[in-house]
Structure 1
Amino acid sequence: MGRGDLSDEKWARLEPHLPKSVGRGGRWQSHRRVINGIRFRQRTGIPWRDLPTRFGKWRTVHDRHRRWSADGTWERVLRAVQAEADAEGRVDWSMMSVDSTVCRAHQHAAGAPKQAPRTPGRHSRPAQHRPDEALGRSRGGLSTKIHLAGEGRLRPLALLITPGQWGDAPQMIPVLDRIRVPRSSGGRPRTRLDHLGGYKAYSSRRNRRHLRRRQIKHTIPERHDQRAHRRNRGSKGGRPAALDRTRYVRRNEVERTINRIKNFRAVATRYDKRAYVYYGTVTVAAIQLWLRK
């Protein structure tokens, strides 16, 4: 077993959730070796073609990662591992937080740009990238943003990727809607948390209304402009948002969760050209965090 490979204990927890067959009664070959290759590339960030030969053919490793990212296998494995932890009481539902982080996209992740049509008599417009590939352009270049909801033990419960320039507040509800932890006793998966924390960028009337409707207590500070606007409206502005500073201090937990995820070089820098493949890469990083004790 090489450095960073799956231990026997982690493999025993992961193996039952992997696909057993592939089309017409066929069977996958060397699941453990291929996953070790995926983990090696994720940890080091090297090109797929440069994978060491002990993991087998690089194309086999790449194709399996791409295939499982496309059909939702990685996401199902993540939920299964989360369900096991929840059944053992190892999920801290008492306080969860939402946050985001921007990851620089490598030039190889840009792919072929979508060229805008030329206008007669004027200069051509700049190249635009496909909106469904979660690539945003700013002064620093191409970037992708990872939105996540993390629990108190520094592990992500839900993930979402968007272009780097997208705001945080509009993505809070989509991230919370992705929390679906199956129950070992059956029935509907758990989707509602006890308390949510977030910094002032998530403060909006829409978000607070959504949390009240779902009966989720929250600790989100009010922005200065929203506070002034509420005061100017007088009694029609409503009551000020309550802020429990003792709970707000725990917002550092989601920041530390992001730090753990970005320890993987293939996550901190996006090398994957397609958005669904990069989402699978981030999901594999989350699975590794859940497999740790």
Structure 2
Amino acid sequence: MSCSRGGFTSKLHLSTDGCWRPLSLVVTPGQRAECTQFKPVLEKIRVPRPGLGRPRKKPDSLAADRAYSNGTIREYRRQRRIRNTIPEKTDSQAARLREGARGGRPPGFAEDRCKKRDTVERAVNRLKQSRAVATRYDKRGYVFLGTATAAADAIRLRA
């Protein structure tokens, strides 16, 4: 496997909390689909607890766009008991309705939590305030991940 390049051929996948602080970061080659990185991003979440105890690894709820509304992601969320706040794609909704009673019920959806989907975009904008993250001059993917992690740590320390 070759190393991915930093520049425009890489993607930064991240999860954030409600206050626009990055919780986990994953860098992939630019041609990789976003929905394939759902599990690795969620599995890297570690929120330390005050005092003693293991870090928290599972969010209560999740807000994402329609790109993350597929069967494998829904099944993964159900197994980990994460509340659904991802809108259903219109083509999958039409396919479910075509099936009639065999199509099943629509997935549960909390519209009030769905309005918070912009937190990831705001966190990316905060990361891009760091010039090194915005310009992406790093040649190697792991170096770019280190740069983004340093910017994320600075955001967490400021908050």
Do they superpose with TM above 0.5? yes
Please state if 1:288 is matched with 2:159. no
1:289 positional shift: 0.3
Q: Could you tell me which residue of structure 1 aligns to residue 27 of structure 2?
A: 161
User: Equivalents in 1 of 2:2, 2:135: separation in Å?
Assistant: 19
Code of the residue aligned with 2:127 in structure 1: it is I
Give the fraction of aligned pairs with identical amino acids, expressed as a percent: 47
Deviations 1:28-78 (A, max 9, x none): xxxxxxxxxxxxxxxxxxxxxxxxxxxxxxxxxxxxxxxxxxxxxxxxxxx
Code of the residue aligned with 1:158 in structure 2: it is S
Please state if 1:259 is matched with 2:130. no
Change (3 A) 1:234 1:131: farther
Q: How does 1:68-79 map to 2 (within 5 A)?
A: none
Q: Could you tell me which residue of structure 2 aligns to residue 204 of structure 1?
A: 70
Code of the residue aligned with 1:132 in structure 2: it is C
Q: How does 1:181-260 map to 2 (within 5 A)?
A: 181-260=47-126
Q: Could you tell me which residue of structure 2 aligns to residue 133 of structure 1?
A: 4
Extract unaligned runs of 5+ from structure 1: 1-129, 137-141
Specify which of 28, 38, 46 is matched with residue 172 of structure 1: 38
User: Equivalents in 1 of 2:133, 2:6: separation in Å?
Assistant: 14
Specify which of 148, 167, 192 is matched with residue 14 of structure 2: 148
User: Equivalents in 2 of 1:221, 1:182: separation in Å?
Assistant: 30
1:135 positional shift: 5.9
Number of residue pairs the alignment of both structures matches: 159
Q: How does 1:43-54 map to 2 (within 5 A)?
A: none
**Does 1 or 2 have the higher relative contact order (CA < 8 Å, sep 6+)?**
2
1:242 positional shift: 2.6
User: Equivalents in 1 of 2:131, 2:139: separation in Å?
Assistant: 15
Deviations 1:110-168 (A, max 9, x none): xxxxxxxxxxxxxxxxxxxx6432569xxxxx421111101111100011111122212
User: Equivalents in 2 of 1:232, 1:243: separation in Å?
Assistant: 20
Q: Could you tell me which residue of structure 1 aligns to residue 143 of structure 2?
A: 277
1:278 positional shift: 0.9
- DSSP 3-state at the match of 2:51: coil
User: Equivalents in 1 of 2:111, 2:139: separation in Å?
Assistant: 41
Segment drifting more, 144-153 vs 179-188: 179-188
Contact 1:149 1:158 in 2 (8 A): yes
* Structure with greater strand percent: 1
User: Equivalents in 2 of 1:261, 1:228: separation in Å?
Assistant: 38
1:243 positional shift: 2.5
Code of the residue aligned with 2:153 in structure 1: it is I
Change (3 A) 1:177 1:242: same
**TM-score under structure 1 length normalisation:** 0.51
Change (3 A) 1:271 1:135: closer
User: Equivalents in 2 of 1:212, 1:134: separation in Å?
Assistant: 35
Change (3 A) 1:234 1:134: farther
- DSSP 3-state at the match of 1:196: coil
In our comparison, the structure showing a higher alpha carbon Rg is 1
1:173 positional shift: 1.1
1:254 positional shift: 1.5
